[in-house]
Amino acid sequence: MSDPGCAPFVLRIASYNIQKCIGTDLRRKPARVLKVLDALQADIVTLQEADKRLPPRPAALPAHLLLEHGWQVVPLGGAASLGWHGNAILFRGDISLTLTQRLSLPGLEPRGAALAEFDTPLGPLRVVGLHLGLIAQWRRRQLHMLMRQTAPRDPVPTIWAGDFNDWDRSPLLDRAAPAMNFLPALPSFPAPAPLAPLDRIALSPDLRALRHGVHGIRPAKTASDHLPLWAEITRA
């Protein structure tokens, strides 16, 4: 958790594909995912696969449980859903929400991204939570679309965090989104024995990461097929 007394201020962000709260033991246990979220000690978390697959796509991780654990949920979903195309954003602490937007992404399979802007002790901050497609050419188009959708906005420090579904360690992402700086790739999938850096965090040039890592402490290795990724962020 961020320490308001430190200088410069550090904000901890995390990204976690919770696989609809179905663990590697094929059991759906939202309480287990909540334990992992609490252990991350993050200020802002982007979630992927936060809703069940079929309409009305109810939340796999119930909102009332998140509220009981001190999380606020960015209002992106409908009456039953937690997010948009499964992408949800959570926050807590000395942070206030100022803007939300659903972003549609091209693809053979339905994809989207969730955008939220906050007032934080770091100042204004834009966070985009995303889950890109399985096919490389569509991932490239989705990244180009994200750049077009966010570039015309006011210049706000920006974080992208999510499941980029890219098994390579950087070239496609760096070429498709040269305005964003991707943190070094770390293996986060599959959770029991991570090999692939599917989960990534990228920063605009006005931000920098002091540390980043993958959270593999129990029950993270069984709560989902992905391990969560975290980073400690400050102004550049």
Burial class of residue 46 (count of CB atoms within 10 Å of its CB; 0-12, 13-18, 19+): buried
| pTM of the model as a whole | 0.93
Instruction: Map out the domains of the chain with their CATH numbers.
Output: 11-235 (3.60.10.10)
Whose tokens are 């992404």? That residue is: 105
Residue with the bigger pLDDT between 46 and 62: it is 46
Q: Would you say 122 and 156 are in contact if contact means Cβ atoms under 8 Å apart?
A: no
Burial class of residue 190 (count of CB atoms within 10 Å of its CB; 0-12, 13-18, 19+): middle
User: What pLDDT digit, counting tens, does each position of 98-157 carry?
Assistant: 999 999 999 888 889 999 999 999 999 999 999 999 988 899 999 999 988 876 567 899
The least confident of 165-179, 182-196, 209-223 is: 165-179
Supply φ then ψ for residue 98, to 5 degrees: -120, -20
Amino acid at 10: V
